[in-house]
Amino acid sequence: MTPVDDPNALRQILARTDFLLLDFDGPVCSVFAGFPAPVVADQLRHVLTDGGHSLPDEVTAASDPFDVLAYAATLGPDEVRYVEAAFTAHEAEAIASAVPTPGAHDLIGAWRGNGLPLSIVSNNSRTCIEAYAALHGISPLITHISAREDAQTDLKPSPYLLNQALDGRSGTAVFVGDSPSDMRAAQAAAVTFIGYANKADKIHAFAGATAIATSMTMLCKAL
């Protein structure tokens, strides 16, 4: 059974970890706290409908902008490029009102205070991650960012972004993510996964995780 909020289990995992990988939206901050994701998804739909495309019901009803981006990729290179560019612009706008996840910045500071590397691994754009890090003064604490660069970036659950962050490093890495696609990416990259379950209904989705934490503060305390 996957341990949930078990301080000893988390402490043992982190004690043997020499490279920490964090997903961005969720474990570090709530990107769309002030600019709701469903609004962004609707804006991306307009890009497609303005281009003359009729959307299937599941895309029309989607509240996640990544679902619209994935559908755009099925339409052709121009469509996905336009949608991805609009998505990046909306992400950058959302960063001004993004809310830090309690305990996340403390965890990042404590980890880097131990002299160990830390990477952000995210399907969000590099542009928005760099903007957030600069806004909150944590840029010097982030060793590397492995994120969406353009419409061709192979996103999670593919292991591509994780493998890019690892860059052939030896040692023990741990990835903290808040979605099943994060867990599948970690499994494909053979990386230990800690599920961040900030909502009770997420716990069952992380049955394959090494451990589960319901707060980033819990992870920080485990250091």
* Per-position b or e across 165-184, b if 16+ CB within 10 A of its CB: bbeeeeeebbbbbbbbbbbb
Q: How does the average pLDDT of the chain come out, rounded?
A: 96
Q: Around 163, how many Cα atoms within 13 Å sit in the side-chain half-sphere?
A: 13
pLDDT of 168 reads 85
Q: What is the pLDDT of residues 146-202, one digit of tens each?
A: 999 999 999 999 999 999 999 988 679 999 999 999 999 999 999 999 999 998 889
Dihedral angle of Cα 86, 88, 91, 92, to the nearest 10 degrees: -110
pLDDT of 171 reads 79
Domain boundaries, the chain: 7-31+99-222, 37-97
Average confidence (pLDDT) over 8-27: 97
Structure-token match 């739909």, residue found = 45
Structure-token match 């830090």, residue found = 100
Structure-token match 């998804």, residue found = 41
pTM: 0.95
Is residue 106's pLDDT more than 90? Answer: yes
Pick the CATH number of 7-31+99-222 from 3.40.50.300, 3.20.20.70, 3.40.50.1000, 3.40.228.10: 3.40.50.1000
pLDDT of 149 reads 97
- For the chain, what percent of residues have pLDDT higher than 70? 100
190: left (phi over 0), alpha (psi -120 to 50) or beta: left
